[in-house]
Amino acid sequence: MRKLIPYGLFVILLLGVIQLTLNAIIKNPSENAVTVSSFKSEADLQKQNIPVLEMFLVSQEEVDGEVVETFREYEVIYDENGDIVTKEPTEHYEYIRYKK
């Protein structure tokens, strides 16, 4: 029990120091700080014509009393209006089975 008291005091003091530090940072933000972001806006990404991977339904058939849907992955490039510019198939397929 005696060992727990110093650990408890340490935790309480540590939380107090963290709180004081956070209060000081919030009250006095650095005016010379520069925000840098590697994220681009969606408009910039559309201008670059970056392909998006999407799954499209290829076939739907009945096998042994179950419905099997086959989806194929495509690399799709959209223009600024959201229309498909190119649609290239990949070798990746997904199969979903449903009981009838």
- In terms of pLDDT, which residue wins out, 16 or 92? 92
What's the CA gap between 14 and 34, in Å, rounded? 30
pLDDT digits (tens, 9 = 90+) for 12-59: 888 888 887 777 767 765 555 555 556 666 666 556 778 889 999 999
85 with 79: CB under 8 angstroms?
A: yes
pLDDT at 17: 81
Note the pLDDT of residue 32.
58
| Interstrand relation of 52-63 and 66-78 (parallel, antiparallel or unpaired) | antiparallel
User: Using the 8-state DSSP alphabet, how is residue 21 labeled?
Assistant: H
Residue range 59-71, pLDDT digits in tens: 999 988 999 999 9
Tokens of 28: 């006095």
Helices H / strands E in the chain, number of each: 2, 3
